[in-house]
Structure 1
Amino acid sequence: MEAAVKSSPVQRAVGVALGAAVLQLVMIIAFSWPAVRSEPRDVPIVTAGPQAAAVAQRLDRERPGAFEVTTVADEAAARTALTEYDAYGAIVTTPAGPRVLVASAASPAVSQQLTQLAQRLSDARPGAPVQDVVATDADDPRGSGFGSLALPLIMSSLAASALIVFGVRELAGRAVALTSFAVLGGLGSAWLAQGWLSVLPGSYLAVASVMGLAILAVAATIVGLAALIGRAGIGLGALTFLLLGNPLSGAASAPELLPQPWGELGQLLPPGAAVTLLRSVAYFDGAGSTGPLVVLLGWTAAGLVFFGLGGIRSRGQDETEPGRREPAMAS
């Protein structure tokens, strides 16, 4: 019996080490797997012109499952599909040969792949000409700056959530802290992204609003979970948003380049929705913003519901706490 008692701390230490090793493997898989398995999967593009159907058949034959091709009436309709965030690129056939239109602002990675595709579409060299209809910011031509925004935005929201949970005990105070952090964080992050870093165009207030909503969606959910189930809520939120949400956000690529259905799942989490909504308001005048906006509002609402349920649970515990004087019963 004594030997068993003495060995329990060692067993706990080994158990903690094993858990940490498993967590490390999960993190490596979560962040590396989407990048290693990145390739086109039903990437929406459009074709136009007299040979549009032939081009669609050729793409389906040479790259099965890579593109979801829609045929439109003419080049004007193809350009509209790009500017309205409905497609990543277009192939316009003409008597002089095909031309490729891309929207690098939607995804520099997809734009690069379509540019490479253009080299094979024409018998002439250096291949079909390529025009960027909706380009990335001139100071961030490869989109690397934009792609790096998601992780610090989510991590800072996680850290702030923990500070609010441990630093503010009253639920009302936590609500004020959440709102204030979302407003100040959105304004500050947008200023950095557009001013100092210069990686995002568009309206400052629109970009700041998206960033503030993304911060609120993450922070409200975590603080709400903490109010409902305790400190474990912080860990649950961190695992969900950091290990799942961030690598599946498509910030550095596109949801259609990620293994499915993980790319679609990423768009249902705050990091992916925030990235898509940022692209929408910064480059496409809000086109395609409804879906990600609903996702962020949904997570915010869920966090507030958790917050309210946690308050009800806390009041119930206070009323039944041992030693607390109960109100006298009426005679």
Structure 2
Amino acid sequence: MTSIQRAIALGLAATVLQALMLVAFAWPAVNLAPRDLPIAVAGPQSAQVTQRLHETSPGAFEISTLTDAEAARTALTDQEIYGAIVTGEGAPRVMIASAASPAVAQQLTALAQQFSGAPAAVEDVVATAPDDPRGAGFGSMVLPLVMAGIAAGVLLTLLVPALGARLAGLLTFGIAGGLLSTLVFHSWLSIVPGGFLELAAIAGLAGFSVAAAIVGLAAVLGRAGIGLGALTMLLVGNPFSAATSAPELLPQPWGTLGQLCPPGAAASLLRSVAYFDGAGAARPLTVLLIWAAGGVALLGVGAVRARRSPGQIVEPDRATVAA
């Protein structure tokens, strides 16, 4: 292939990548809608409200019936539901947890107004941080964490030949990156409340798992591993992370798949620890640990291969490199 042919091929490949990124980022945004969204109804008119919800919005909500407002408040703080419509004397009122999803909170508030025909009384049981009332800052944190993890993984792969040294670089990035990023979004911008060290550990684990996935894939697959890891995080992990919405608002199975990638798991884990005292943290924590351990395991596979071929290790930009 000549230089001109190679240049044209790369230009076409970049065009396809551009189109894929537009689809990945724009398509979820224009298709946000409740899909089996967990909510509750409470009070003496629960049956009527439930029936009306099923009639007006079939398939939109997964509705549970609770005894009263106190039970709804407990379910909200335990992250079992996103909101509740409480009936009784007078117009229904809505209870929300905007920290779980400002987008869902807005939708449920509008829904309650449809029932009452007037502005509904709203109780925000678990509110977002005062300096980030709409959750915009929280949603904007995900992409920098992903991009930094990708950059760390690519640079360590390209510039550090020894696989053991790459692991040291990953650990350094995870610890230092977690501390510094938390200084920014917690101590300076006050986007996320909670304990500094806990949030730093989550941010560090998120960055580490992204970088480890790329380093590990590159150790096994070479240059293709960098592309596979980076594109997975950019085209699947980030746009379907639900950091600005909720997994149940995204088209399925993408909402679920997004929670199985580091960006979505990191956003969910940060929410759980910062706002809900760890309720619902087990699953996203497990996802991040699996990605981190998987990346390290792949790096170990690359190290074993290097030992079997003395003096050589797999590099993404050349066939062999002196160890």
TM-score greater than 0.5 by the shorter chain: yes
**Per the alignment, do residues 66 and 233 of structure 1 end up closer, same or farther by CA in structure 2, a change over 3 Å counting?**
same
Q: TM-score, normalised on structure 1?
A: 0.91
Is structure 2 residue 96 aligned with structure 1 residue 102? yes
Is structure 2 residue 37 aligned with structure 1 residue 27? no
Q: What's the counterpart of residue 199 of structure 1?
A: 191
**Per the alignment, do residues 104 and 14 of structure 1 end up closer, same or farther by CA in structure 2, a change over 3 Å counting?**
same
CA contact (8 A) 2:306 2:312 kept: no
Q: Deviations over 1:136-194 (max 9, x none)?
A: 00000000000000000000111111121122221221111111110111111111111
Q: What's the counterpart of residue 316 of structure 2?
A: none
Q: What's the counterpart of residue 166 of structure 2?
A: 174
Equivalent residues in 2 for 1:146-157, closer than 5 Å:
146-157=138-149
Shift of residue 17, structure 1, vs aligned partner: 2.2
Q: What's the counterpart of residue 200 of structure 2?
A: 208
Q: Give the secondary structure class of the aligned counterpart of 1:318.
A: coil
Q: Give the secondary structure class of the aligned counterpart of 2:95.
A: strand
Q: What's the counterpart of residue 159 of structure 1?
A: 151
The letter of the residue matching 1:115 is T
Q: Deviations over 1:173-232 (max 9, x none)?
A: 111111111011111111111111110001111111111111111111111111111122
The letter of the residue matching 1:300 is A
The letter of the residue matching 2:73 is R
Aligned length: 313
The letter of the residue matching 1:67 is F
Shift of residue 13, structure 1, vs aligned partner: 3.2
Q: Give the secondary structure class of the aligned counterpart of 1:91.
A: strand
The letter of the residue matching 1:99 is R
Aligned partner (choices 291, 303, 327) of residue 283 of structure 2? 291
Name the stretch that deviates more: 143-152 or 45-54.
45-54
Q: State the distance in 1 between where 2:138 and 2:132 align.
A: 8
The letter of the residue matching 1:203 is G
Equivalent residues in 2 for 1:43-192, closer than 5 Å:
43-123=37-117, 125-126=118-119, 128-192=120-184
CA contact (8 A) 2:129 2:193 kept: yes
Q: State the distance in 1 between where 2:5 and 2:204 align.
A: 45
Is structure 2 residue 309 aligned with structure 1 residue 317? yes
The letter of the residue matching 1:87 is I
Q: State the distance in 2 between where 1:121 and 1:265 align.
A: 34
The letter of the residue matching 2:98 is S
Q: Give the secondary structure class of the aligned counterpart of 2:309.
A: helix
Q: What's the counterpart of residue 319 of structure 2?
A: none
CA contact (8 A) 2:79 2:279 kept: yes
CA contact (8 A) 2:96 2:123 kept: yes
The percentage of aligned residue pairs carrying the same residue is 58
Q: What's the counterpart of residue 243 of structure 2?
A: 251
Q: Deviations over 1:77-112 (max 9, x none)?
A: 100110011111001111223110000000000000
Q: State the distance in 1 between where 2:65 and 2:294 align.
A: 40
Is structure 2 residue 263 aligned with structure 1 residue 264? no
User: CA RMSD, aligned part only?
Assistant: 1.5
Is structure 2 residue 220 aligned with structure 1 residue 228? yes
Shift of residue 9, structure 1, vs aligned partner: 4.3
Q: Deviations over 1:48-98 (max 9, x none)?
A: 111112111111100111111111122111001100111110011112231
**Per the alignment, do residues 81 and 320 of structure 1 end up closer, same or farther by CA in structure 2, a change over 3 Å counting?**
closer
Shift of residue 319, structure 1, vs aligned partner: 6.8
Q: State the distance in 2 between where 1:145 and 1:163 align.
A: 28
Q: State the distance in 1 between where 2:31 and 2:90 align.
A: 37
Q: State the distance in 2 between where 1:88 and 1:136 align.
A: 13
Q: State the distance in 2 between where 1:46 and 1:9 align.
A: 62
Q: State the distance in 2 between where 1:65 and 1:130 align.
A: 24
Q: State the distance in 2 between where 1:317 and 1:141 align.
A: 56
Q: State the distance in 1 between where 2:15 and 2:171 align.
A: 37
Larger radius of gyration: 1
Q: Give the secondary structure class of the aligned counterpart of 2:132.
A: coil
Shift of residue 15, structure 1, vs aligned partner: 2.3
Q: Give the secondary structure class of the aligned counterpart of 1:110.
A: helix
Name the stretch that deviates more: 57-66 or 169-178.
169-178
**Per the alignment, do residues 320 and 259 of structure 1 end up closer, same or farther by CA in structure 2, a change over 3 Å counting?**
closer
Q: Give the secondary structure class of the aligned counterpart of 1:47.
A: strand
Q: State the distance in 2 between where 1:120 and 1:78 align.
A: 20
**Per the alignment, do residues 180 and 18 of structure 1 end up closer, same or farther by CA in structure 2, a change over 3 Å counting?**
same
Q: State the distance in 1 between where 2:312 and 2:269 align.
A: 46
